[in-house]
Amino acid sequence: MSAQKILIIGGVAAGPKAAARARRMAPDAEITIVERGSLVSYAGCGMPFYVAGEVSKFEHLFETTYGVIRDAGYFWREKGCKLLTRTEAKSIDRTKKEVLVENLETGEQYNLPYDKLVLATGASPVIPPIEGIDLKGVHRLNHPDDAEAIKKHIAEREVDEVIVVGSGLIGLEVADAVAKLHLFTTVLELQDQVLPGLLDHDLAEWLSAKLEEAGVEFRFGQKASRIKGDEDGFVTGVVTDSEELEGQLVVVAVGVRPNTELAKQAGLEIGETGAIAINEYLQTSDPDIYALGDCVENTHLVSGKKVYVPLASTANRQGRVVGDNVTGGNTKFKGILGTGVLHVMEYNVGRTGLGEKQAKDLGYSVLTALNNTFDRTHYHPDHGMMMMKYIIDDKTGRLLGAQGQGLGDVIKRIDVLATAITYGATVDEISDLDLSYAPPFSTPIDVAQHTANIARNKMSGIAQCIGAAELKKKMETDEDFVILDVRTDEQFNTRQLKDNRVRLVVLGDLRERINEIPRDKELVVICALGTRSYEAFRTLKGAGFEDVKYLEAGLQGWPYEL
């Protein structure tokens, strides 16, 4: 009996992972990987760090942890897989179970047979139809060659100003990388906020304000209409619908599209998102053809809806599932939460599950909780400020999504909450988790649980909050209300809201001075983080004040100028 033939189209992340798992499960199978590029199994997520100089050698992006380059020799010697680089899959004959391929070096075409076929064709960057997009010095960052070209351009040209088109994950990673090279950076974003696919608007406002303080400029709500250049064909800037920006390097990062041409030509089903449709075993509409990674759509674990969220973590997890199933296994891939994280300009940013608008659009009765606090005990020298937001089903208390950002260890909490959401946890159950504590790592009640407790207080009615955007809007009116600041005199004198309705009453003096506070006006209590203002809120409510709220996340979460 002849050995099983497993043919994999795509050699970046998902394909090689599927090949490696399949080899372990079926030592006698004939496994062939076809890749149209010359580089395989490379660390795409490491490219911004290479541009910034934090990854010192180009080869580090496609070598193993023990220093061996992942090339055809490596895949044959260590994985027992045949790797064909610079070879493009042209068409699939599902009846004959053959793939027509072309050697891009010689032009030779020939057929490769398969018993099981795997499509790991990935995604390609969206290239907007902008005049000047082909000028020298205009780049993308979707392949190691792009990273090398950006570094070369910076080294060979006098680059002082960089324009990044797009403020998604890749766009901000690029901005972070070039800012580390001390280049003035402007980020151009068509939407009205940074990270529109990751963060809710309230967190995004805070983050962009912090990044601007760190030296990155943003232009929101502007569209690049033309990229301008000099007589030698080198880029000199970007013209938007509002202004002209100067720059000697432009990086376009406006998203990616799944590579589905091969699947469409073969008559495979394309899903509602425009990516390849798959079942829970990662099979396409042809049971002998599997697909995974950035070319497929997935099921969201909370909404149950089909989504397209291309992430390296998903691609690698799916590789194991496909490796199992093409060798006779029965492993399921249940879906994703779209968990994404980012490190930019010293800030850690993360998200998992549904955003606030997504949850509302799906018909949930949504309650949110916002918490601004330290990631570990305040007296530990490594403590950092962080902000967390929960999106909760108000009827059941179930956590639907979470977002976080700050200098503190946000990502640890995002991972805990991704686990909680996966298993349908409520905020009560999150509060009951037996999480670890020691001063170098956390506070006695962890940030994740503290945020859950804020949500529980709001759900039970013992906390009534106002958000920063709502308070700012109130301050822009002539409404007669009182902003009660309960911080210390020193904190108040250092940083305060500029509004004649602000009154300072230090929390420790509140009970003694409570008769000075008007009972016939709305009160908004503020402090640094929201903790003292909540204490003051409960004190005022206990003293019979009715129309009172406190500023959620405090002045540390205030994204506007004071």
Instruction: Give the count of beta carbons closer than 10 Å to the beta carbon of residue 285.
Output: 16
Query: Which tokens in the block code for residue 1?
Result: 């009996």
Strand order in the sheet with 30-34: 82-84, 30-34, 5-9, 116-119, 289-291
Q: Which of 431, 421, 370 is nearest to 398 (CA)?
A: 421
Q: Read out DSSP for 439-491? A: TTT--SS-HHHHHHHHHHHHHHTS--EE-HHHHHHHHTS---EEEEE-S-HHH
Instruction: At 233, give phi and psi (nearest 5°).
Output: 85, 15
Between CA 346 and CA 209 the distance in angstroms is 14
Whole-angstrom Cα Rg for the chain: 27
**C-alpha to C-alpha distances, 139 to 42, 121, 429, nearest whole angstrom:** 19, 22, 47
Query: Which tokens in the block code for residue 51?
Result: 């541009």
Exposure pattern of 331-351 as b/e (b: 16+ CB <10 Å)? eebebbbbbbbbbbbebbbbb
Catalytic residue, candidates 45, 295, 465, 527: 45
Exposure pattern of 153-180 as b/e (b: 16+ CB <10 Å)? bbeeeebebbbbbbbbbbbbbbbbbbbe
Between CA 167 and CA 195 the distance in angstroms is 6
Between CA 176 and CA 181 the distance in angstroms is 9
Residue 45 is a catalytic residue: yes
List residues with catalytic annotation: 45
